[in-house]
A and B are shown apart, each in its own frame.
Chain A
Amino acid sequence: MSIQIEHISKRYGSFTALADVSLTIGSGELVALLGPSGSGKTTLLRIIAGLESSDEGSILLHGEESTRHSASRRGIGFVFQHYALFRHMTIFENVAFGLRVQSRLLRPSRSIIRERVRELLHLVQLDSFAEMYPEQLSGGQRQRVALARALAVKPKVLLLDEPFSALDAKVRKELRDWLRRIHDDLHVTTVLVTHDQEEALEVADRVAILNLGKLEQTGTPESIYNNPASPFVYNFLGNVNLFHGRLLAELSFEERAGSTERSIDSAIGFVRPHELELSRNLPADRRAVVASVLRVHAAGPQIRLELSIAGSGRSVAAELSRKQFEQLALVPGDKVFVWPQYIRLFDDDRAMSLLLDQGAGI
């Protein structure tokens, strides 16, 4: 079932939670609503669910105007951040709940309910836990039960509100993969709210980024990572270094500290740590900057270096593969030459985005 979000706005007193947000989610898609806290993503999810009302705009579920429908009649499944399992019911009773409270006419028979619950517990790999109580389960297990419970009533839309943020990092990764697999099996239209960009980029078909109540960008994970539409998006996805500078007529970019070229505008330039090149020797045809190594973080697959740029003293992060690092054999205090492979420029806040490939010097 598709979801159409049209011009949704929501205010709490003087605080604007959502400002004219429009988004279409296709049937069977898994869309992530990504953003920092306060961006409005949870509010939007709850409005889709019918748990909160919008001040303006409408929600259409499968083409049908649903803004006035109550939460219990929208045919949605909701998974809460803190599970919200019924603490005094067994796992079996939790999952069966949605089926048991259906009206007499629609309610399936006891044996059908039992069958369905067993099926779902098998899907979430918690078969033997049926007679246990929520407090006996770990966080990850509880969230799986919550998912099974939501799926029991065959919802047409599945909504998840930061479902993994209360869990350990390792469990989070496991559940993430597992959610993707379940989605591939069941093809239920799914909307996932998260503040973890890694999660969104790995799991979703499409990502919608929100900031301060506005929709910044939507697209596939690849497209928004490679073509961010604004500094905010760029900053939010992946580590960045930030450089302020002036845009020169010949499209060469001088860092503010010491430029004698004529400048036109000021711009912001972004470089990702792994897009910086380092060398012990000054490169021939390139403008590079001298920096000294402050710190080396060698834990993990990539080596992360903190550098201090000579002159301005500003610190900058660079990322190298182990092989590159071993070739350079750098220790704190060493001097290196640094230049960007790619630099992405933004004029003012957004709009223009130029990709400068080499040729540029800091």
Chain B
Amino acid sequence: MTRSSPLPGFRLSFTFTMIYLTAIVLIPLAAILLHASRQGFMGFLHTVTAPRVLASYRVTLGSAGVAALLSAVFGMLLAWVLARYDFPGKRVVDALVDLPFALPTAVAGISLTALYTEQGWIGRYLEPHGIHVAFTPVGIVLAMSFVGFPFVVRSVQPVLEDLDPAMEEAAASLGANVWQRFTRVIAPVAFPALLTGTALAFARAAGEYGSVIFIAGNMPMKTEITTLLIVTKLEEYDYSGAAAIAGAMLALSFSIMLLVNLLQWWGQRREGNRT
């Protein structure tokens, strides 16, 4: 029992937590990082900058970036509408935003593909106009946006909901018009949350596998995403190669995690630490 609390069970709960974490997270994580580093820095660098790998970065990060922006736009729209307006069916809409979280990525993948191929419900209108979605980077961006936009919604929505109407009323009584109220009162508060959500959407998109591989086409150097490349290398028994690329992806994940934490800290500071 720690001296600072009269409640029992610290040793038991803490030890269990640490053992569980170590076994499930820390040791496996260490295993990949160690393997990746076993090739030495030059070896690592060589692997992760091979042409095919570089191409996959281009595809993955490029698409993730565009998808993040799209997620930001649509996510912001939905967050705004959900936080500030009442309309019939609002609860259903709110629940549906979580669909990409709840739906298995493979299911998302095959249904998106089915929609946008030539025979698909949407594809049949687009293809004749020369707009190819399935098996192109456009499809990749689409699938990534599908899984990414809920992050933006769920980051911005609570912030907008917590906004005190009295603030806007005060601004209005002081003579601010609609646009000014938005840019001076609402946007500064919502912006950090928007950035956070977009960063999360980006991270999710970059690491995505199931929803993308069906619609992507998966042609090396053209439409092959990095996660697929890792799987391919595993299937070819190139464990070192896979580990190296996985290591690079982990570096990206952790950087984004750090960025998100910083953004949240910044956001809290601006609000005077409301959480």
Contacts and interface: CB of A to CB of B under 8 A. Distances in A.
Interface in A42-60: 50-53
Contacts of B3: 53
Interface in B1-17: 1, 3-4, 6
Majority DSSP secondary structure for residues of B touching A: loop
Nearest to A53: B3
A51 B8 CA distance: 12
Contacts of A153: none
Contacts of A51: 6
A71 B6 CA distance: 7
Contacts, number: 8
A188 to B, nearest CB: 21
Interface string A68-85: 001100000000000000
Task: Classify chain B's interface size.
Answer: under 10
A53 B3 CA distance: 7
Interface string B159-196: 00000000000000000000000000000000000000
Interface string B1-43: 1011010000000000000000000000000000000000000
A70 B7 CA distance: 10
Nearest to B3: A53
A217 B6 CA distance: 30
A70 B6 CA distance: 8
Interface in B107-126: none
Nearest to B1: A70
A278 B4 CA distance: 56
A21 B3 CA distance: 20
Interface string A315-345: 0000000000000000000000000000000
A88 to B, nearest CB: 18
Contacts of B6: 50-52, 70-71
Query: Which of B1, B4, B6 gathers most chain A CB within 10 Å?
Result: B6
A71 B1 CA distance: 12
Interface string B72-108: 0000000000000000000000000000000000000
Contacts of B1: 70
A52 B6 CA distance: 7
Interface string A261-278: 000000000000000000
A267 to B, nearest CB: 45
B168 to A, nearest CB: 33
Contacts of B4: 52
A50 B7 CA distance: 11
A70 B3 CA distance: 11
A50 B4 CA distance: 11
B3 to A, nearest CB: 5
A149 to B, nearest CB: 17
B193 to A, nearest CB: 32
A121 B32 CA distance: 64
A50 B8 CA distance: 13
A48 to B, nearest CB: 13
A70 B1 CA distance: 10
A296 to B, nearest CB: 38
A185 to B, nearest CB: 30
A29 B3 CA distance: 30
A59 to B, nearest CB: 14
A53 B2 CA distance: 10
A219 to B, nearest CB: 32
A52 B7 CA distance: 11
A53 B6 CA distance: 9
A159 to B, nearest CB: 13
Contacts of A50: 6
A316 to B, nearest CB: 40
A34 to B, nearest CB: 25
A275 B95 CA distance: 71
A264 to B, nearest CB: 52
Contacts of A71: 6
A302 B275 CA distance: 47
A355 to B, nearest CB: 47
Contacts of A70: 1, 6
Nearest to A12: B4
A52 B1 CA distance: 12
B2 to A, nearest CB: 10
Interface in B233-262: none
A281 B172 CA distance: 60
A295 B6 CA distance: 52
Contacts of A52: 4, 6
A360 B246 CA distance: 89
A51 B2 CA distance: 11
A42 to B, nearest CB: 14
Interface string A21-53: 000000000000000000000000000001111
A303 B32 CA distance: 81
A247 B51 CA distance: 94
B5 to A, nearest CB: 9
Nearest to A71: B6
A60 B4 CA distance: 21
Contacts of A53: 3
A147 to B, nearest CB: 20
A50 B5 CA distance: 10
A210 B1 CA distance: 30
A52 B3 CA distance: 7
Shortest 8 CB-CB distances between A and B: which pairs?
A51-B6, A71-B6, A53-B3, A50-B6, A70-B6, A70-B1, A52-B6, A52-B4
8 contacts: A50-B6, A51-B6, A52-B4, A52-B6, A53-B3, A70-B1, A70-B6, A71-B6
Given A52-B6, A53-B3, A71-B6, 5 more contacts: A50-B6, A51-B6, A52-B4, A70-B1, A70-B6
